[in-house]
Amino acid sequence: MELSEYVQSGLQTLADSGCFSPSAYTVLLQTAFQSLLNAQADQVALDHPVLKHIDPTVLKHCHAAAATCILEAGKHKADKSTISTYLEDCKFDRERIEQFCTEYQKNKDTLEIILGSIGRCPLHITDVSWRLEYQIKTNQLHKTYRPAYLVTLNVENSDSRSHPDVSFSCTMEQLQDFVGKLKDAAKSLERASQM
């Protein structure tokens, strides 16, 4: 893991028991994790009484440093020994390293999910709805008498915002073709997952 000077110095301050008492360290560590994982978290968390006597600038620096370290570890799927080694280099004592790793282990999966969901992708299909109708006549043509399907694909873009749905009409044969091709894709997915 490679982190900037700013982050390293923040971590070194965090390691220093003269600046951060054991309880202050615990609180800051938990706050750092919560601010990353909990979408509703806000600045209030840094107002904990145990942190009151620490200079706010220092608090922010250490909080940012801890958060960056957590993200880097998550991004590279770092294992315990990598994290331990890095924290050792930042002068963390055994106990604080253990605490960090335990907290990290607890939150690792959620962190990975969040990191994995960041990024661009084509419009994502989330659901489908369909309608079957039997056409009888139009004003230009009577006695048409044929079934038709209207298919709507519910679609989201990469920010999970909804996007106008994709709708199309089709005959029974066309729908069979569509479903057939989707089944080919599913079969090939199954084969690939068995390799």
Partner 1 sequence: MLLVLSEEHKEHLGFLTQVDSAVVGEFGRIAVEFLRKGTNPKIYEGAARKLNVSSDIIQHGVEGLTYLLTEGSKLMISEIDFQDSVLVLGFSEELNKLLLQLYLDNRKEIRSILSELAPKLPSYHSLEWRLDVQLASRSLRQQIKPAVTVKLHLDQNEDQTTKILQTDPATLLHLIQQLEQALGEMKTNHCRRIVRNIK
- Please give the residue ranges that form the binding site for partner 1 (CB under 8 A): 74-77, 112, 115-116, 118-119, 121-130, 132, 134, 136, 138, 140-145, 147, 149-151, 153, 155, 166-170, 172, 174-179, 181-186, 188-189, 192-193
Question: Of 141, 132, 136, whose CA–CA distance to 170 is shortest?
Answer: 132
Residue 153 DSSP SS3: strand
Minimum distance between the CB of residue 67 and partner 1, rounded to whole angstroms?
14
Q: Position of tokens 């006549």?
A: 137
Minimum distance between the CB of residue 49 and partner 1, rounded to whole angstroms?
34
Q: Judged by CB, which is closer to partner 1: 44, or 192? A: 192
Q: How far is it, in rounded angstroms, from Cα 141 to Cα 132? A: 20
Q: Judged by CB, which is closer to partner 1: 17, or 169? A: 169
Q: Please enumerate in sequence order all residues whose Cβ is within 8 A of that of 164, keeping only pairs 6 or more positions apart, or say none.
A: 155
DSSP-derived letter for residue 122 is S
Minimum distance between the CB of residue 76 and partner 1, rounded to whole angstroms?
6
Minimum distance between the CB of residue 144 and partner 1, rounded to whole angstroms?
7
The token duo for 108 is 């690792």
Q: Judged by CB, which is closer to partner 1: 36, or 59? A: 36
Q: Judged by CB, which is closer to partner 1: 41, or 132? A: 132
Helix (H) or strand (E) holding 92: none
